[in-house]
Structure 1
């Protein structure tokens, strides 16, 4: 048996015997019995704010359902829920279950707050969307500028396949060099033939690791 669990069980038994409700709620939640803890908050403490805060901390859909079911015939609880659950649970789920003719304190103010919270969420989402689009466009332009840059090829560069100088010593000899945007260079004849392996569209070295946006092909001929 887990010693920690044994200690919790003993502490829970003592708190229940002495009717320490808040302490019992704490221990129940630590032991994983959150539904029973919420039930005690609602039935024995009758504290809607504490019940809502507990449900927020646990972030459990079943707890919210229990809280709504318990509150549905208690107008003060309904008011508390309407004022606080907008960002955690769809308020429509609660509103549809309110009995016709029930008088709910400050209902108009609660509904106005729900609409204000909803509008705020919409504004935040639109703001985030604009930022994402702007950042994506900026990064795309940066990548495009990077890929449009020239690549210097001289006698110090080597073929990544045969490791011979990329430029032949005989300058009169015809040759083809393939240069990728990742700056890896190959003699064209050192690359796989298009008929055997899907061509030379991507750098073999980068493809073996992870194909990225900088591995596309540039070709230079002489």
Structure 2
């Protein structure tokens, strides 16, 4: 199951602020399964993905799970893949095509071993480098996968996180055409081992939100979900990185 127009334009991507108590991923070590739960005004999902649901499209960097009947898909970044070599955080992209009129709902979740609040640094700064991936839909219903690189800088003394995402590109799913996309920045405030804030493209066309947190025993890694929207575009994605 790919992301295709199915003969009509998709509804805009339903921006899901994936880093909150209503959206979660839990892992069952006994069955080697992941349970994905999404709940908001637009989408409600509660699905368990087993090893038998792994799709042949999986590779060394991504594991693709397909739900019963091919209606839902969950794509998970493999944390140990060679580029990032993460130990404590990863992210997933869920896709649900069970809505009315062949519309598509998609979103991102970040999950892993959260940093205990008691272990969070109380002062100093740390820089986290990594990669971002997302989904964008334009005004005509064309679907793009977007990706790029990012750096998040945490100022633990001030309780802030500032991010810069660059070299962003967009791949048109229907035509496999690659075009440059909008670089963007984020600004957020730290609370405990989480942070929330805003996001905006550098050209001023799109604005949105950022939600994330620190992962690992002493905040060695970081993960966040972002949303961006404006006239003619709607996007959501995730970022993971390490010191």
TM-score > 0.5, shorter chain as reference? no
Higher Rg: 1
Question: If each structure's helix is expressed as a fraction of its own residues, which one has the higher value?
Answer: 1
Report the TM-score when normalising by structure 2. 0.21
Quick one: higher RCO (CA 8 Å, sep 6+), 1 or 2? 2
